[in-house]
């Protein structure tokens, strides 16, 4: 084992940004729930954040090379967990996504853990491709590594989480020297797939009814002012009515009166935008931008390819989360059920982010060591 | 390169926010406001109706309606079975109600149960937090006296029709209640009040969570009626289960003291929401319970019309006053035999012998009036009948009054394009044939003739401004003779109302027994109830310038007018004087004692309001009777 790095080597800027985003989240969770039957949720979130910080520091102490060595085992554990979910998982909101940890009794959303494992597995895989160009065989191998858990997650069904695996693969492949011919072919396949999803005769076969509803209501929100189109419309009304200055903490009518769907979780940005206005959005998105840029910087300073792939995998996952969630809040994307990292309430999702940041710290701590 | 992608991505997202929050902010602000704020009407209670002494005839009772908030269809779907269970409505009915109102805006709650029971209220209160889509609103419902008391005059309310909404200049909305019939309709504008509104904040389910402002409802004004609860009570009871009508008027003012029509209906059934089934049953019933017979039954007046014939004879002196006839039980005119009722009388006599006018009125001899009518001719009869109001609406303050019909040569010409047959004059002179009247018209007519030809417009609103009056002066000697004869009907031997005599009261009147079909035709059809005679009696007191006139119709009684309808008139007139005696005897201060008893009817109106619904016990009244006016 290498020498333990000192506390000065932690990325304190990254931690500060992280803490600021978490604070915004806790404030808005409090505002969205304090007057309702969900009151007290912000305290639960603080608890998750505390656990997250501890896990983050713990993970950062363990050399990431050791973790990468165990990648195949982690991968198998992840797949088994996914299969277990399908067999004995708990069903909420019409999907089987949770499994109960026997000792603690908490429900854990397994796919969040799998995201982390996929980041590790892909980092190891791409790090071992020792050429400047990624050939087709390796690309297909990588795609299969991602594809198997992706299909299992789709089975739950959880389209949102499944989608998050894609940018990890894409970013990794690019950094590993993806050839433009391959890129073209894969892009075309991707475009066809997206097209199929939006094309009713095909989507009828491959999507669940609720997923089709989300697509339709995204395309024609007015037709279905009370279904899932309603959620997008109400979110847009909340955001728009916030104006530049916002309605003030605890004063958003869309938020306080419950017009915004799951306002404390997936749509927390909507509640924030209503109460804090464009200036608040500027602050929040500014912090996310800083976070992502800081991650990229850490990736560039990584000691080895594996470290770089790890950090960029995390950046890709978080960036994709932010993009898809915020685009949904402003009505530019269908409802996918992807939370906003660190602001949305949720145990598993929060822990995933902290563990991911833990990996980043891990890489950073060891940038000078050898 | 990754950095550029990140900055670009955040930039694009910010542009999206800029569009919503800065460029389109106003649009979304007003949409949020529309989400949040909802206007809820505050229903104004309708004005009450009081009787002439201030006793409550119609008022309101508080009630709750159960609302279903439809803002969130998923929630509605989820809770529907529980709701169906909890408030006892079959799930299928609820689903029907939902699908029937699909086209209404989602934010508009629907009333799933207009009348919540105590159990329903308890259910809703105890499930406030776990069934968010249920709500109650307080409404005020009309409360009418039970058992159809005064039902036809008062009328009823119902949900407004589209026509009413259109003609209300935006004052009425879907689901509002307005008067549909009777006084409720006539004075709807006074009674209805002005709804207020409450601007409230609602949450995403549609539940009220806060209040912005309230504009109070202005309650409708109450109206005082000319109806005397005590007399009405007697009228309802005395008419009893028989189909028919009662109208009691004060001929000096035109005030309606009592008005009943049987069979009646219970307007409380209409106060909530009547089922289509019940409505059809009422509407299609052969007994016509929805018809106000007092103003809508147009029937042959029978012998009551003889007063018109007699007045015409005395006024025009055709034939002269000394005219007499011999009645052998029938008369032959224009080659056809017209029977006198005495021909069929059960008493055994088949002849009236020789009669003059006074006796003819007393005994109601048809043959005498056949002869008078033939001599007068239809033009004179029609002129007098019309002047006395037959064929014209009285102008009472009730909707849907019928005018009756006074036939004339001009009328058959216009309607049937033929000449008047002289034989028809014979029928009309005794109130048969085409002539028809309503009970109200006969009360107004007899009261007016006994008052010397002053016909006050009948009305139900006390202290009504501009009460109409028609004058058709009748000479004093004519009035004297006619009224003496009508006094004789009750008080002289041989009169058709002999059994009705009231001690100490100059009870006068005229009976009528109108054939629904001719005697001969009836013989063919046999004794079917619907072809039985209609019995009339129009009575008043005192003999001249009466205080009160009462017209009673008993349909299909198969009895003579004096027998079937007369006792009802007598009961009411007796009750009227009993009450007046009680007033003058005991209930007034010394100041009032000196007052002329003849003013009793108006004085009664000054009496302080009494507890409603307390039945006056006529037999407990002091024995002293009012002194009739001489």
Q: Give the ipTM of the model, two decimals please.
A: 0.90
Give me the pLDDT at residue B594, please.
34
- Give the C-alpha separation, B451 to B549, whole Å: 11
Q: Which two tokens stand for residue B508?
A: 């006068």
Q: Are A74 and A117 in contact (CB under 8 A)?
A: yes
For residue B63, is pLDDT > 70? Answer: yes
For residue B395, being part of any structural domain is answered with yes
- The verdict on a CB contact (< 8 Å) between B201 and A253 is yes
Is A336 domain-assigned? yes
Same domain? B272 vs B413? yes
- B151 and B181 share one domain: yes
Indicate whether A104 belongs to any domain.
no
Q: Are residues B111 and B239 in the same domain?
A: no
- Residue A37 within any structural domain of the chain: yes
Q: What is the pLDDT of residue B346?
A: 67
What's the gap in Å between the CA of A270 and the closest CA on chain B? 10
Judged against a pLDDT cut of 50, whether residue B483 lies above it is answered with yes
User: Is A234 in Cβ contact with B21 (below 8 Å)?
Assistant: no
| Residue A98 forms part of a structural domain | no
H/E stretch holding A203: helix A200-206
The residue among B617 and B268 whose pLDDT is bigger is: B268
Q: What is the pLDDT of residues B132-146, one digit of tens each?
A: 788 888 888 889 998
Is the pLDDT at A104 greater than 70? The verdict is no
Are the Cβ atoms of B17 and A278 closer than 8 angstroms? yes
**Planar angle of CA A308, A309, A311, nearest 5 degrees:** 65
> B13 lies in a domain?
no
A256 CB-near residues (< 8 Å, 6+ apart):
A31, A32, A35, A250
Same domain, B338 and B446: yes
Whether residue B275 sits in one domain with residue B154? no
In a domain, B612, yes or no: no
The CA distance from B440 to the nearest CA of chain A, in Å, is 60
The C-alpha angle with vertex B278 and arms to B275 and B284, in degrees rounded to 5, equals 135
If contacts are CB pairs under 8 Å, which of residues 43-72 in chain B contact chain A?
A: 71-72
Residue B143 covered by a domain? yes
- Over 80: is that where the pLDDT of B173 sits? no
As annotated, the active-site residues of B are 303
Mean pLDDT across chain A: 85
User: Is it the case that residue B382 has pLDDT exceeding 60?
Assistant: yes
d(CA A168, CA A118): 8
Residue B410 has pLDDT above 80, yes or no: yes
Same domain for B275 and B134: no
- Weakest-pLDDT range from A98-107, A128-137, A299-308: A98-107
Task: Check residues A107 and B622 and name the one with the higher pLDDT.
Answer: A107
Highest mean pLDDT among A109-123, A260-274, B65-79, B375-389: B375-389
**Count of domains for chain B:** 2
Average pLDDT score over residue span B108-125:
84
Asked if the structure places residue A20 within a domain, the reply is: yes
Expressed as residue numbers, the domain containing A35 is 7-69+130-139+158-365
Q: Say yes or no: B509 and B422 in one domain.
A: yes
The highest-confidence range among B59-63, B72-76, B582-586, by mean pLDDT, is B59-63
Does some domain include residue B7? no
Q: In the prediction, which pLDDT does B275 show?
A: 67
- A353 pLDDT band (50/70/90 cuts)? very high
CB B511 within 8 Å of CB B553: no
State what percent of residues in chain B have pLDDT above 70: 88
Which of A184-198, B187-201, B245-259 has the least mean pLDDT? A184-198
Same domain, B244 and B196: no
Residue A103 confidence (pLDDT) = 65
| CA distances in angstroms from B91 to A172, B2, B82, B83, B98, listed in the order given | 57, 59, 9, 8, 11
Instruction: Name the phi and psi angles at A361, rounded to 5.
Output: -60, -45
3-state secondary structure of B512: strand
% pLDDT > 90, chain A:
39
Classify residue A198: in a domain, yes or no: yes
Q: pLDDT over 90 for what percent of chain B?
A: 47
Total of domains in chain A: 1
Say if residue B514's pLDDT is above 90: no
pLDDT at A217: 67
- Judging contacts by C-beta atoms under 8 Å, the chain A residues touching residue B106 are 225-226
What is the pLDDT, as a whole number, of residue A1?
43
A245 neighbors A279 (Cβ within 8 angstroms): yes
In 3D space, the residue among A144, A154, A79, A88 whose CA is nearest the CA of residue A117 turns out to be A79
3-state SS assignment for residue A326: helix
Residue A63 lies inside a defined structural domain of this protein: yes
Of B230, B243, B282, B236, which is closest to residue B259 (Cα–Cα)?
A: B236
Inter-chain contact A330–B17, Cβ cutoff 8 Å? yes
pLDDT score of B78 more than 90: no
Same domain, residue pair B513 and B386: yes
Chain A residues whose beta carbon lies within 8 Å of the beta carbon of residue B104 = none
Domain assignment present for residue B517? The answer is: yes
Are residues B143 and B107 located together in one domain of the fold? yes
* Residues B464 and B225: beta-carbon distance below 8 Å: no
For residue B268, is pLDDT > 90?
A: no
Is B130 domain-assigned? yes
Burial class (CB in 10 A: 0-12, 13-18, 19+), B105: exposed
- In the A/B pair of chains, how many CB contacts fall below 8 A? 115
Please report, for the domain that includes residue B179, its CATH number: 3.90.1310.10
Q: What is the reported pLDDT for A218?
A: 66
Mind giving me the DSSP string for A83-96? HHHHHHPEEETTEE
- Residue B561 confidence (pLDDT) above 90: no
Q: Are B344 and B519 in contact (CB under 8 A)?
A: yes
Residue of chain B minimizing CA distance to A329: B17
User: Inter-chain contact B21–A278, Cβ cutoff 8 Å?
Assistant: yes
Question: Is residue B174 predicted with pLDDT exceeding 90?
Answer: no
pLDDT of residue B85: 87
Q: Which pair of structure tokens corresponds to residue A143?
A: 């795609």
Comparison of pLDDT for A35 and B324, the residue scoring more: B324
If one counts every other C-beta atom within 10 angstroms of the C-beta of residue B119, the result is 11
Classify residue B246: in a domain, yes or no.
yes
Residues B239 and B220 in one domain: no
Pairwise CA distance, residues B533 & A279, whole Å:
92
Q: How many other C-beta atoms lie within 10 A of the C-beta of residue A149?
A: 24
| CA B262 – CA B239 distance, rounded (Å) | 8
Where do the DSSP E strands lie in B576-626? none
Q: Do B10 and A285 touch (CB under 8 A)?
A: yes
CATH code of B482's domain:
3.40.710.10
Comparing CB atoms, the residue among B21, B33, B73 nearest residue A242 is B21
CB contact under 8 A, A225 and B106: yes
Q: Mean pLDDT throughout B397-415?
A: 93
Q: Rounded mean pLDDT of A211-229? A: 64
Low-confidence winner among A225-234, A323-332, B392-401 (lowest mean pLDDT): A225-234
Residues from chain B that touch A280, judged by Cβ atoms under 8 A, are: none
Interface test with A, best of B13, B131, B200, B212 (most A CBs within 10 A): B13
Dist CA A110 CA B485 (whole Å): 109
Put simply, whether B36 touches A (Cβ < 8 Å) is: yes
Touching check for B108 and chain A: CB below 8 Å? no
Determine the residue among B2, B71, B132 to mutate to test chain A binding: the one whose Cβ has the most chain A Cβ atoms within 10 Å: B2
Q: What is the pLDDT of residues B421-471, one digit of tens each?
A: 988 999 999 999 899 999 999 999 999 999 999 999 999 999 888 889 999
Lowest model confidence (mean pLDDT) among B48-52, B92-96, B164-168: B164-168
CA–CA gap between residue B411 and residue B330 (Å, rounded) = 28
Q: At B489, is the pLDDT very low, low, confident or very high (cuts 50, 70, 90)?
A: very high
Question: Domain for residue A164, yes or no?
Answer: yes
Q: Are residues B373 and B491 part of one domain?
A: yes
Which residue range forms the structural domain that includes residue B552?
A: 229-282+290-460+471-587
Say yes or no for a CB contact (<8 Å) between B22 and A244: yes
Q: Given this model, what pLDDT does residue B528 score?
A: 55
């Amino acid at each position: 084992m290498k020498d333990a790095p000192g506390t000065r080597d932690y990325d304190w800027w990254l931690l500060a940004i992280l803490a600021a985003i978490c604070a915004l989240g806790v404030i808005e969770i409090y505002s969205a729930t304090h007057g309702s039957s969900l009151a007290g949720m912000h305290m639960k979130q603080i608890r998750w954040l505390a656990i997250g910080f501890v896990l983050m520091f713990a993970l950062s102490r363990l050399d990431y090379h050791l973790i990468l060595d165990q990648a195949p085992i982690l991968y198998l554990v992840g797949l088994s967990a996914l299969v277990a979910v399908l067999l004995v998982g708990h069903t909420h909101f019409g999907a089987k996504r949770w499994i109960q940890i026997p000792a603690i009794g908490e429900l854990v959303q397994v796919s969040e853990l799998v995201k982390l494992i996929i980041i590790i597995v892909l980092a190891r895989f791409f790090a071992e491709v020792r050429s400047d160009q990624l050939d087709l065989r390796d690309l297909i191998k990588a795609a299969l590594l991602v594809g198997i858990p992706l299909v299992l997650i789709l089975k739950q069904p959880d389209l949102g989480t499944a989608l998050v695996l894609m940018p990890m693969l894409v970013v990794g492949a690019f950094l590993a020297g993806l050839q433009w011919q391959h890129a073209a072919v894969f892009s075309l396949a991707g475009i066809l797939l997206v097209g199929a999803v939006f094309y009713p005769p095909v989507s009828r076969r491959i999507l669940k009814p609720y997923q089709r509803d989300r697509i339709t209501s995204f395309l024609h929100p007015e037709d279905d002012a009370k279904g899932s189109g309603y959620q997008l419309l109400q979110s847009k009304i909340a955001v728009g009515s916030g104006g530049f200055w916002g309605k003030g903490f605890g004063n958003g009518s869309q938020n306080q009166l419950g017009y915004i769907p799951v306002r404390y979780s997936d749509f927390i940005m909507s509640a924030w935008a209503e109460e804090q206005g464009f200036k608040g959005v500027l602050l929040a998105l500014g912090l996310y931008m800083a976070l992502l840029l800081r991650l990229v910087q850490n990736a560039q300073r990584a000691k080895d390819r594996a470290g770089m792939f790890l950090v960029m995998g995390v950046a890709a996952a978080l960036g994709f989360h932010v993009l898809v969630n915020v685009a949904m809040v402003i009505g530019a994307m269908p409802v996918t059920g992807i939370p906003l990292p660190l602001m949305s309430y949720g145990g598993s999702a929060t822990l995933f982010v902290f563990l991911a940041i833990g990996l980043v710290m891990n890489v950073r701590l060891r940038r000078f060591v050898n | 390169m990754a950095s550029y992608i990140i900055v670009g991505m955040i930039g694009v997202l910010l542009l999206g926010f800029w569009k919503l929050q800065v460029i389109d902010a106003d649009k979304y602000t007003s949409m949020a406001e529309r989400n949040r704020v909802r206007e809820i009407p505050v229903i104004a209670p309708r004005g009450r109706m009081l009787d002439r002494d201030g006793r409550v005839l119609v008022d309101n009772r508080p009630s709750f309606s159960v609302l279903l908030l439809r803002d969130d269809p998923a929630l509605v779907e989820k809770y529907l079975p529980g709701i169906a269970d909890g408030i006892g409505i079959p799930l299928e009915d609820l689903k029907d109600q939902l699908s029937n109102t699909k086209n209404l805006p989602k934010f508009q709650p629907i009333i799933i149960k207009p009348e919540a029971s105590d159990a329903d209220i308890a259910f809703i209160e105890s499930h406030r937090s776990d069934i968010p889509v249920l709500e109650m609103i307080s409404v005020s419902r009309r409360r009418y006296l039970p058992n159809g008391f005064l039902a036809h005059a008062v009328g009823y309310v119902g949900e407004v029709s589209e026509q009413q909404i259109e003609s209300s200049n935006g004052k009425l909305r879907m689901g509002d209640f307005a008067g549909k019939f009777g006084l409720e309709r006539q004075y709807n504008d006074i009674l209805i009040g002005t709804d207020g509104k409450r601007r409230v904040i609602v949450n995403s389910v549609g539940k009220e969570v806060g209040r912005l402002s309230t504009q109070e409802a202005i309650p409708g004004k109450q109206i005082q009626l000319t109806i005397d609860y005590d007399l009405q009570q007697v009228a309802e009871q005395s008419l009893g289960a028989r189909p028919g009508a009662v109208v009691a008027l004060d001929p000096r003012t035109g005030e309606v003291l009592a008005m009943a029509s049987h069979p009646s209906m219970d307007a409380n059934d209409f106060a909530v929401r009547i089922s289509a089934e019940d409505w059809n049953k009422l509407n299609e019933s052969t007994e016509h319970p929805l018809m106000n017979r007092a103003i809508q039954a147009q029937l042959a007046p029978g012998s009551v019309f003889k007063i018109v014939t007699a007045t015409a004879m005395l006024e025009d002196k055709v034939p002269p006053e000394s005219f007499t006839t011999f009645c052998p039980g029938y008369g032959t005119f224009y080659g056809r035999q017209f029977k006198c009722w005495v021909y069929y009388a059960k008493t055994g006599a088949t002849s009236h012998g020789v009669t003059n006018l006074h006796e003819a009125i007393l005994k109601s001899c048809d043959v005498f009036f056949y002869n008078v009518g033939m001599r007068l001719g239809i033009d004179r009869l029609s002129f007098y009948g019309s002047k006395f109001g037959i064929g014209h609406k009285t102008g009472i303050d009730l909707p849907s009054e019928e005018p009756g019909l006074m036939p004339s040569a001009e009328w058959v010409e216009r309607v049937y394009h033929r000449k008047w047959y002289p034989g028809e004059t014979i029928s009309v002179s005794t109130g048969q044939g085409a002539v028809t009247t309503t009970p109200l018209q006969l009360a107004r007519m007899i009261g007016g003739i006994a008052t010397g030809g002053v016909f006050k417009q009948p009305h139900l609103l006390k202290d009504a401004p501009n009460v109409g009056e028609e004058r058709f002066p009748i000479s004093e000697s004519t009035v004297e003779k006619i009224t003496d004869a009508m006094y004789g009907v009750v008080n002289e031997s041989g009169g058709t109302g002999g059994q009705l005599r009231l001690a100490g009261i100059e009870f006068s009147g005229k009976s009528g027994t109108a054939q629904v079909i001719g005697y001969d035709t009836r013989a063919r059809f046999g004794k079917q109830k619907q072809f039985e005679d209609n019995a009339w009696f129009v009575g008043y007191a005192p003999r001249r310038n009466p205080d009160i006139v009462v017209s009673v119709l008993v349909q299909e009684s198969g009895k003579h007018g004096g027998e079937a309808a007369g006792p009802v008139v007598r009961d009411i007139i007796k009750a009227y004087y009993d009450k007046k005696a009680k007033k003058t005897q005991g209930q007034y201060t010394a100041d009032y004692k000196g007052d002329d008893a003849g003013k009793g009817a108006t004085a009664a109106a000054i009496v302080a309001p009494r507890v409603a619904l307390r039945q006056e016990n006529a037999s407990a009244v002091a024995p002293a009777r009012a002194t009739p006016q001489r």
